[in-house]
Amino acid sequence: MSAPWNPPQPIEDLFLQLTRGSQFAADGSEPITLSQVLRIGYTLIANTGLFIEACREWRKIRDTDKNMAQFQELFTEAEQDRSSLLTTSSQAGYHAGNVTAAIPNTPCASSRRSSSNGTRASYGTRPSHG
């Protein structure tokens, strides 16, 4: 029940995980309260670091007013919003394919390097044959 959840896994999978875990506990004569289930779900979502605003909204709700339907609605909406932003960003060209890497030390950055046969080569000059 407390196995980590990470997008892109659908958030509905998390809700199902919570429901099944709660049912499993009840079947084993060790029921888990709704408050505990919601706290576990909240922690799993908060641990992703992707739902800061939705988590803030959830914390503002009084514990006595919290229920599973409200939990699912709030975080489903937050996940849909996050997913739509990712889709929009990737369509605009902001995706992992545009991430640049550090440029390694190249021949231009160093005027002398060892060649594969152990001799020294100077870049920018012609090798001598003799």
Given a cut of 80, whether residue 90 has pLDDT beyond it is no
Q: Is the pLDDT of residue 69 over 50?
A: yes
Q: Residue 44 in contact with residue 2, Cβ under 8 Å?
A: yes
Mean pLDDT, the chain, as a whole number? Answer: 80
Residue 122 included in any domain: no
Domain total in the chain: 1
Residue 125 lies in a domain: no
Mean pLDDT of the region 5-17: 94
- Give the residue numbers spanning the domain of 36: 11-95
Over residues 69-86, mean pLDDT = 94
pLDDT of 9 strictly over 90: yes
pLDDT at res. 97: 53
Alpha helices (H) in 8-60, listed in sequence order? 11-27, 34-46, 52-60
What phi, psi does 75 have (nearest 5°)? -80, -25
Is residue 90, in this structure, part of any structural domain at all?
A: yes
Quote the pLDDT of residue 120. 53
Tell me the average pLDDT across 31-42.
97
pLDDT digits (tens, 9 = 90+) for 104-126: 454 444 444 444 555 554 444 45
C-alpha–C-alpha distance, residues 122 and 107, integer Å: 9
Residue 37 lies in a domain: yes
- Report if residue 102 sits inside a domain: no
Look at 27 and 89; give whichever has higher pLDDT: 27
pLDDT of the residue at 34: 96
pTM: 0.66
